[in-house]
Copies of this chain bind each other. A is one copy, B any other.
């Protein structure tokens, strides 16, 4: 199931070689999955050459489906994603920036989810939600979301109430989930050791080790924006000093370029434009970000030995402009053996990466234990007949 979800339609023999299972086991499993309407088999076009072409096994994009949700600083979003990764429907609604209560947020999300008519709870495997904050995986509590003003908020519980669902709900950090989406569907497809760095006002990270997200003991891993990097640096909103994000976040870029902080995407775009037309201050600001970005990345390359670094958000949008500086810093500060093996690329999925990653998170349990899903689930059956 994992192979089909990640790679899409595969022949029986490809499935065999990817899983190491024997032909007869693959055939038996496909029979079971087809009976549960999770896959279908398609007879391929004749090849025009001797030999029988292998049947193509296709994931059923309508069963199961997952609901991805996102709580961003200035918008909320939802997407229905099918087995195999097709985005069946998606929706994003802007909200005013700043602190918004939990109650209001989950009510808005429930309203948005109600408009996603391709979401059928009976065919759903679960719900994932991405949030710009520090998330405790075990119970879906948001320990800290500074840009929303949340601390120790039981998001998973509140979502369950508001959506009125029995489905499993998983909460994840937006950078972690962005990393998962880029690894499965975007710039890092096919790679197994990935560092995802996403910067806007805050800088977050997601680390994929051997194809799986690195969560740490409680889901707090990947807070790379708060590595202390500049002992002579300035105060960070986290309470520490000289964190990486004070040198490479949106505010650092805008302030150095002589702009008002908090200007968002438009302000960053104007810095890029001005740098292109020769504005020295805009150029120096971008150079500063590239310098500290490469410096911090070098340390992480030495610690994690990734094959790919994916830059998302603000950092993805300015990548082309700062790439040379970043590469030079890697040359200077990363160990040659690890440095040679790593490439730095911009993210591909844009602002929807965390949303798609949230849906992928919901699929994870299913992919780990698809067999459990072949049996009718009592809670849902009860719900359906009620």
In the assembled complex, the CB of A239 is this many whole angstroms from the nearest CB of chain B, namely 8
> Which chain B positions have C-beta within 8 A of A205?
303
Contact of A221 among B134, B226, B305, B332 (CB under 8 A): B305
203-243 of chain A: CB within 8 A of chain B: 205, 207, 209, 214-224, 226-232, 238-241
- Is A114 among interface residues, defined by CB-CB distance under 8 A? no
Stretch at the interface among A55-63, A64-72, A335-343, A371-379: A335-343
- A299 beta carbon closer than 8 Å to chain B: yes
Contact B240 A332 (CB under 8 A): yes
A144 interface hit (Cβ, 8 Å): yes
1/0 contact string of A325-341 vs chain B (CB within 8 Å): 00000001101111001
Is A304 among interface residues, defined by CB-CB distance under 8 A? yes
Q: Does A298 contact B (CB under 8 A)?
A: yes
Interface residues of A in 274-305 (CB under 8 A from B): 295, 298-300, 302-305
Tell me the count of chain A residues lying within 8 A, CB to CB, of chain B: 48
A143 on interface, CB distance cutoff 8 Å: yes
Contact between chains at B298 and A300 (CB < 8 Å)? no
Q: How far is the CB of A155 from chain B (nearest CB, A)?
A: 15
| Smallest beta-carbon distance A246→chain B, Å | 12
- Nearest B-chain residue to A194, judged by Cβ: B217
Residues of chain B contacted by A341 (CB below 8 angstroms): 217-218, 220
With A205-B303, A303-B303, A335-B134 known to touch, is A216 a contact of B228 (CB < 8 Å)?
Answer: no
> Does the CB pair A302–B227 fall under 8 Å?
yes
> Contact at B223–A338, with CB atoms within 8 Å?
yes
In the complex, what distance in Å separates the CA atom of A220 from the CA atom of B301?
A: 9
- Complex Cα–Cα for A303 and B336 (A): 22
Which residues of chain B come closer than 8 Å to A5, judged between CB atoms? none
User: What B residues does A300 contact at CB under 8 A?
Assistant: 303
Query: B216 to A305, Cβ gap below 8 A?
Result: yes
| Cβ-defined contact, B333 with A228, below 8 A | yes
A120 surroundings in chain B (CB, below 8 A): none
Does A121 make an interface contact (CB < 8 A)?
A: no
Among all A-B residue pairs, the 7 with the closest Cβ atoms: A216-B305, A227-B299, A221-B305, A220-B305, A217-B307, A220-B338, A193-B217
A-B contact pairs, 6 of them (CB 8 A): A193-B216, A207-B303, A209-B209, A214-B304, A220-B305, A226-B302
